[in-house]
Chain A
Amino acid sequence: MLSLAITLCIVTGTMTFALAGQAPPAEYQVKAAFVYNFLTFVEWPSRTLNEADSLRVCIAGEFPDAAAFDELNGQELMGRKLTVRRMKSVENAQGCHVLFIGSSEGGRLSRLVESLKGSGTLTIGDTTGFAQRGVVINLYIDQKKVRFEINAEAARRAGLIISSKLLKLAGVVYGLAPAGN
């Protein structure tokens, strides 16, 4: 009986101790904050984004915690309002300035990237391999911290200009044009 008592004490004791402790922020809340921050380092082509326009952020696919992105809705960024729309799949993603693509859309990714050429859409993902497959910014976790990789070639094809400050902070940059271009 003693080991039963000890075990239950250890289990419930440490659990309440742990639960009372400081909670680290949820993964998707931090990722949403990253997305918000990225927007200040990206320039959209003027034909797709006028002075008065609101910045349309689309979240496409299935996420464990898509509601975290809803927090961005209505926030202000450099004088523009952000509107956030969530959708089941990328099939209906039209007219978005920012498109966050979930891993569930991996199968449709290549087709999507093709169709978005020159459209001025900043594509963002958080699935391994998305940057190499043409998504402009891809988030990943390294030792519990959020990092990101950038596909500069994909940004060029979409007609976006990425600030060198963002490029410097990126973990990996693909498709950087050789100096002198």
Chain B
Amino acid sequence: MINAIIKRLPSGVEDKLGTNPCRGPFRGLVIIVLAGVAFSICAAGAMADVAVSRSSTLTRLTLEELMNIEVETVYSASKHEQKVTEAPSSVSIITSDDIRKYGYRTLADALKSVRGFYVTDDRNYSYLGVRGFGRPGDYNTRVLLMVDGHAINDNIYDSAAIGTEFNLDVDLIDRIEISRGPSSSLYGSNAFFGIINIVTRNGRELDGAELSADAGSLGTARGRLSYGKTSAKGVGYLVSGTVYDRKGGNLYFPEFDPSNPGADQRAADNGVAAGADGDRSMSAYAKLSFPEVILSGGYISRRKGIPTASYGTVFNTDDTYTMDVHGYLDVKFDHDIDSRSNILARLSYDEYWYYGDYLFDAATPPAPESLYFNKDVVYGRWFAGELKFSHTVFSGDKITLGAVFKDNLAQNQINYNASPYEEFLHDRRKSLVWALYGQDEVTFFDRAILNAGVRYDHYETFGGTVNPRIGVIYKPVDKTAFKFLFGRAFRAPNSYELYYNDGGLSSKVNPDLKPETIDSYEAVFEQYIGTHLRGNVSVYRQNIHNLISLQTDPMDGLLVFRNVNEINARGIEFEMEASSPGGSRGVVSYAVQKAEDSQTHEILTNSPQHLAKFNLSIPLMREKVLAGLEEQYMSRRRTIAGNYAPAFSVMNLTVSVQKIYNGFDVSFSIYNLFDRSYGDPASEEHVQDRIEQDGRNFRLKISYIF
């Protein structure tokens, strides 16, 4: 996260992966499509079979006997189905069951399975791409990430943490609700491409203690201890702590191999960075819930070594690392004033620290005496509050009014060299953001819902912005829904873009930055067929204005952020979900999109045009054992240098057994089953064109509930 001018490596580096479409990644796409077709045929056929009337036999059972029967919960919480079809957006939900079945280790793993989403990794952070937009180097600023409604994006980089730096252990997640489309009309800045809300589990569900330990390849180990209970009066609590450590493997970078003719001048150690990819974290979460008040708090501290020698740092050292620390407290009050009105009030306090230590060598060739550290120390502190009032008028019209404030008590960025000490940046800011919003949801004839909302945000930096959203949901028959959505969203320039500079050495500030805006039009068709099949199709078009990009000013050669780009993206997404009476469940999705610069008509960097995903879970051995298989295909993506990261597909397999013995659950996962070689486009601070990702790796996880 520092600006340093990097020389790009000439593209003489061999592309090892080949470009023959009949092998490798294209095969993955074929698998997904064929599997999806085969699966839906089977599911549809099976569906026809299960008209057997079982009610007559069931009603003859006693209550005690009925209470012993296990049910296939296709729509176990019908409120989820309601949420999906009646939400003014295209919604995807990932449940705690999915997290267990498919062996998701982080939120990023779970997001990789979502239709139209893709995740890239530079061995420092995980970056989420939505609908073809995921420029290398952009921190996840255009998605609002929340835990139980509490925003996680920090107040310096506005970044949504989705990798190992995310606050919550995935085992504490009850479900992940992903709502696509601009949602600034309710949530303000960052709700640009959509919002992700994580709903946490309840004390009632834990009903005691849970101990979980897992170990995996590359020296990975994680331990978690959680405890939760709910009393008869409705008071619940949940406490949990997790520690995680991953040693990481030895990574080979041809760009740093001295025997390579075009290698970087910092090349050393045969191009192998050993033990420089370490990742360790500690996190805690607690929640105390009363009937109308919920207090919650989370903490994470995560240190990640950087093995890529980014920003011109020394190669093969574990002294270059980033550390993210985020702690928060949140209190929410939710009260039904009467049968038709509700008031919600929330107050929260967050603190965020970021430390970046970068080891440089002043001499060429490198020499130990000329080593020095450049350090980033960033601190953010904010206090936020929200008041929301909703009232249902007799005719079924639901009106919501809200007021929000966010007081940024500190937004500090410091950058300096250690020994000899030289300070380049010492910027301290405070700012206040406030907003008012309103939404009206009107139901017509039980068949159509009109949802219209607008929000006004006021920022001290650029003034005010108004963002509307209109959605029409039409359900001609019970299980069919058509949605037409139009919305506008914005992303305010963050502290980093506004104020980070190194005193004119290589970069300067631009306090006149305006917010980015997006206009989005979308049409969705959702259909439930029987209880076992669901499909949907989405078509969308998005225009992004005033995209903030890092540029070089021709006048003084300094780097500066400017509102320069116009992007337009359009695409179609298909998804089908089927479940069979045998307990199997599968989802297939395919997204085709085109995201390009409006002026140059060039497709964006790191933008795949095709994404295909397949998830299948099958109960085996009388349903004691569950197998979860997933495959994800991504078409090729352009890199910053103008090359292509080839298309690839990855398959993951998890086999889990619940209650194998007393309270023990065990699962074994193989990630990247076929050991596919693939790389993600690198960004400006890397010499590498692509960062190669992990090959086949394993994880064994054991949980004990007592």
Contacts and interface: CB of A to CB of B under 8 A. Distances in A.
Given A11-B38, A27-B73, A111 B339 contact: yes
Given A21-B582, A30-B66, A7 B340 contact: no
Interface stretch (B51-59, B254-262, B508-516): B51-59
Contacts of B582: 18-23
A126 B73 CA distance: 13
Interface in B437-462: 446
Contact of A10 (B54, B75, B629): B629
Q: List 10 A-B pairs, minimum CB-CB distance, nearest first.
A: A110-B339, A71-B55, A23-B581, A33-B58, A18-B582, A144-B70, A64-B75, A27-B71, A111-B339, A36-B59
A164 interface: no
Given A8-B31, A104-B82, A15 B68 contact: no
B42 interface: yes
Given A8-B38, A127-B79, 9 more contacts: A7-B651, A8-B34, A11-B35, A14-B620, A26-B50, A29-B58, A37-B61, A72-B59, A147-B67
Contact of A25 (B72, B232, B619): B72
Nearest to A27: B71
Interface in B468-491: 478
Interface string A1-45: 101100110111011111111111111011011101100000000
Interface string B658-678: 000000000000000010000
A101 to B, nearest CB: 11
A1 B30 CA distance: 11
Nearest to A63: B78
Contacts of B392: 107
17 contacts: A11-B616, A18-B584, A19-B42, A21-B582, A21-B622, A26-B72, A27-B73, A34-B63, A62-B82, A63-B78, A64-B531, A88-B446, A103-B78, A111-B339, A113-B339, A127-B78, A169-B64
Contacts of B531: 26, 64-65
Contacts of A4: 27, 30-31
B618 interface: yes
Interface string B609-645: 0000000101110110001010100000000000000
A126 B81 CA distance: 13
Given A8-B34, A14-B627, A15-B38, A146 B66 contact: yes
B493 to A, nearest CB: 39
A53 B218 CA distance: 72
Nearest to A133: B336
B398 interface: yes
A102 interface: yes
A49 interface: no
B581 A24 contact: yes
Contacts of A102: 78
B271 to A, nearest CB: 29
Contacts of B62: 37
Given A21-B582, A64-B531, A27 B75 contact: yes
Interface string A83-122: 0000011000000000000111011011101100000000
Contacts of B38: 8, 11-12, 15
A37 B583 contact: no
B30 A110 contact: no
A2 to B, nearest CB: 9
Contacts of A22: 582
A132 interface: yes
B373 interface: no
A128 interface: yes
A15 B580 contact: yes
Interface string A152-167: 0000000000000010
B528 A32 contact: no
Nearest to B31: A7
Contact of B66 (A7, A10, A20, A37): A37
A24 B63 contact: no
Contacts of B87: none
Interface in B135-190: none
B422 interface: no
A178 to B, nearest CB: 13
What bracket does the count of chain B residues touching chain A fall in? 35 or more
Nearest to B68: A145
Interface of B: 27, 30-31, 34-35, 38-39, 42, 46, 50, 53-56, 58-59, 61-64, 66-79, 81-82, 232, 234, 291, 336, 338-340, 392, 396, 398, 446, 478, 528, 531, 580-584, 616, 618-620, 622-623, 627, 629, 631, 651, 674
Contacts of A166: 63
A112 B339 CA distance: 9
A15 B622 CA distance: 14
B183 to A, nearest CB: 21
Interface centre among B31, B63, B64, B73 (most CB of A within 10 A): B63
Q: Name A's interface SS.
A: helix
A110 to B, nearest CB: 3
A110 B54 contact: no
A145 B72 CA distance: 9
A110 B55 contact: no
Nearest to B580: A19
Contacts of B618: 14-15, 18
Nearest to A166: B63
A75 interface: yes
B79 A103 contact: yes
B596 to A, nearest CB: 33
Contacts of A20: 582
A157 to B, nearest CB: 15
Contacts of B580: 15, 18-19
B34 A25 contact: no
A75 B71 contact: no
Contacts of B42: 12, 15-16, 19
A93 B507 CA distance: 69
Given A37-B66, A144-B71, A15 B674 contact: no
Nearest to B475: A62
A27 B72 contact: yes
A146 B59 contact: no
A116 to B, nearest CB: 12
A71 B56 contact: yes
A109 B338 CA distance: 11
Nearest to A65: B531
Interface centre among A103, A127, A147, A172 (most CB of B within 10 A): A103
Nearest to B232: A172
Given A24-B581, A75-B59, A64 B71 contact: no
B526 to A, nearest CB: 14
